[in-house]
Amino acid sequence: MPTQPPRYRPPGWREPEPWAASKGKSRQQRGYGREHERMRDRVLAEEPYCRECLRLGISPPALTTVADHIRNQAEGGGADRSNYQGLCTPHSMTKTARESARGRRRARDA
């Protein structure tokens, strides 16, 4: 059985994580160009506090740092103002993780 000779790896080298691989599309190709930046600025000006924190009655962080799609673009969400909300980073990351898990399940079941 043929084997491949060992490869030299410099100290500290690690295999890249699977999630770190680029899908090959720029942010503009994914729909996050100039119009998205304008909408992001508008959302953050109109909603300086996290919508989810306010709903839960939690004292929100001073300023929201993320303009989030309520329904993500991969699931058919649009780029109009009614599909955006202001979220703090922890709530945005939690929501993104749920959406990513749904996407992986869809891909697996397809």
Residues 6+ apart with CB under 8 A from 87: 50, 51, 52, 64, 66, 68, 95
Whole-prediction pTM value?
A: 0.69
* Of 33, 52, 104, 44, nearest in space to 74 by CA: 104
Binned at pLDDT 50, 70 and 90, residue 110 comes out as: confident
Q: The tokens 């959302």 sit on which residue?
A: 43
Amino acid at 3: T
pLDDT digits (tens, 9 = 90+) for 49-60: 899 999 999 887
Rounded-to-integer distance, Cα 97 and Cα 110, Å = 20
The pLDDT value given to residue 36: 87
The domain spans of the chain are 34-109
